[in-house]
Amino acid sequence: MNSWLRDPQKLGLILISGLALFYFTQLPVGQLYRFDEFLTLDRTNGFLRFGDWTTVYSSNLPNFQKPPLQYWMGAVFLGAGVDETVAIRIPSWIFSVVCLVATASLARSIAPAHPHAAPAAVILLASSTEFWSHAMSGMLETGSAAFVTLALLFAYRALKEPANWWWVAVAVGLGALQKSPGALAAVAVFVAGAALAARLRGVALPGLRSRIFPVAGLLALCLAAAWPLLQILLHGSAAIRSAVDNELIGRFSPDATSGMRGFGDVWGIVIRDEPFLRLGAIAGLFVLPTLLRDPRLFGFTAVVLGYVASIVLAGGAVYPRYTLNLVPLFCAVVAVWIFQSRARLRRKWILTGIMSLLLLGPLKPAILVSGQSARDQAAQSTVLPTVGMQLQDDETLVVCGWDRKTRFSPGAVSFYASNGRPFVYLAHKEDLGPKLSALTGRQIRGVCSSASFAELNAAFGTAEVVERLAPDYVVFTLRP
């Protein structure tokens, strides 16, 4: 066997470096296309547009739904003149490299006697289409996954080496600045699960008895709360209501009217995208604690069970992309399970290679993981800039957004067409009457798909067509 394959540390370094370089070359491929990617573009540009780095702006108004870390990073590149598509994707690419390193470190920490599990975990994570589809985008999920993985890695180590609790606090704080306090929740569940398992088995965990533990825990809470507290100081209590009620409590609180999600829903959110990998990992989380005689591993089992429970009970919209937070853990667990076996090293690598092939391999050109459509690109990048050039200073921009097949992202509207001013986005057909009536006496310039324009004109009947733009949009003026 080649010497580089016998040296797992060198192999891991080669793999991560090669993957980072390959996907860096893919950053300019295609265009932004996801609905939320344009929200990232708009919020990133908001720091440059308003010169205020202490507030996230969305649709040219202060917004409290998401924290600023990835938007700050993108703004640095955007302000340096980097192409907007690349500037918005670079932070996710950086976080993907962090994810690869953290995943290798997690596998090595779980099974130090089996060092080849670390590069194998890198290969498995790199073979995940779900992972790269977000790492090559302007979405926030890759950064969230990076900090959740780092927080769990350091928490696992801290249970035996208490000094790692300080690094847990740092990871939790950065995770809260990236998207949500998900890393904090993951660590809390992990510690509870590991502590319970250790107690039942009569095993001592020195990290829980260390004086560092409560102090670092308090620091983690303070860091997680820092951005929301700053927003309350700057903008009042509306900031916390928007961020917590809408994004956390509103999304994950049980709702008696909607009921609990069933097996099919959980399968679609947690398992469906990569069933071989994810089912294998979940099985491994129940087997490895006994095989490796390590009660700390039950903490990871508790995290996955807690996540599934939150999916079942959540009353708001929950998407499969949220499971990306656990994919690095899944890859580390599967790699450890393979390499702790008594099979020969070559056979372990063959099994890793088979799993990688089942996931379509680690090298995926960006165009294959994007799923973007030409219609979306044309609409966002050609129609909206034209509207922006036509918009007059005394006009209010109105955009139809109730048809999911033809709608624009509010982020794209803000970036390309709003000229830095607030606008009216009609997300539901029912908004037509109330929102347009509120603009009585004001000159409107709007853009809708042909079908949406017909519905709007049927309601008001005084809209004047200014221009029709391909593929099927109407620019109009109206004075309600």
Q: Which helix (H) or strand (E) holds 478?
A: strand 473-478
- Give the lowest-confidence range in 4-8, 78-82, 93-97, 421-425: 4-8
- Residue pair 218/172 in contact (Cβ under 8 Å)? The answer is no
Q: Phi first, then psi: give them for residue 160, nearest 5 degrees.
A: -115, -25
DSSP string across 98-150? HHHHHHHHHHHHH-TT-TTHHHHHHHHHHT-HHHHHHHTSS-SHHHHHHHHHH
pLDDT of residue 474 exceeding 50: yes
pLDDT, residue 240, reads 72
pLDDT, residue 31, reads 84
What global pTM score does this model have? 0.94
pLDDT, residue 249, reads 60
Q: What is the mean pLDDT of residues 43-69?
A: 96
pLDDT, residue 260, reads 77
**Mean predicted lDDT score pLDDT of the chain:** 91
Q: What is the mean pLDDT of residues 242-261?
A: 63
pLDDT, residue 257, reads 59
Single-letter amino acid, residue 176: A
Between CA 472 and CA 448 the distance in angstroms is 9
- Residue pair 62/55 in contact (Cβ under 8 Å)? The answer is yes
- Give the lowest-confidence range in 129-133, 246-250, 389-393: 246-250
pLDDT, residue 374, reads 45
Res. 33 pLDDT band, cuts 50 70 90: confident
Between CA 78 and CA 43 the distance in angstroms is 12
Model pLDDT for residues 305-363, shown as the tens digit of each residue: 999 999 998 877 889 999 999 999 999 999 999 999 999 999 999 999 999 999 999 99
Q: Which residue has the tokens 């922006």?
A: 388
Q: Is 166 helix (H, G, I), strand (E, B) or coil?
A: helix
Q: Residue 113: exposed, middle, or buried by beta-carbon count in 10 A (0-12, 13-18, 19+)?
A: exposed
The pairs formed by 17-23 with CB atoms below 8 angstroms and a separation of 24 or more are: 19/100, 19/122, 19/126, 19/362, 19/363, 20/93, 20/96, 20/97, 20/100, 22/363, 23/93, 23/96, 23/132, 23/135, 23/136, 23/366
pLDDT of residue 42 exceeding 50: yes
pLDDT, residue 375, reads 47
Model pLDDT for residues 195-240, shown as the tens digit of each residue: 999 999 999 999 999 999 999 999 999 999 999 999 999 998 877 7
pLDDT, residue 255, reads 63
Between CA 84 and CA 32 the distance in angstroms is 9
Please tell me which residue, 250 or 229, carries the higher pLDDT value: 229
Model pLDDT for residues 367-414, shown as the tens digit of each residue: 555 655 544 555 777 899 999 999 999 999 999 999 988 899 999 999
Please tell me which residue, 434 or 43, carries the higher pLDDT value: 43
- Give the lowest-confidence range in 124-138, 238-252, 397-411: 238-252
The pairs formed by 173-176 with CB atoms below 8 angstroms and a separation of 24 or more are: 173/219, 173/220, 173/223, 173/224, 173/226, 174/69, 174/147, 175/144, 175/147, 175/148, 175/150, 175/151, 175/224, 176/67, 176/223, 176/224, 176/225, 176/226, 176/227
Residue 315's nearest CA partner among 265, 363, 267 is 265
Between CA 73 and CA 68 the distance in angstroms is 9
Paired with 62 in beta bridges are: 57
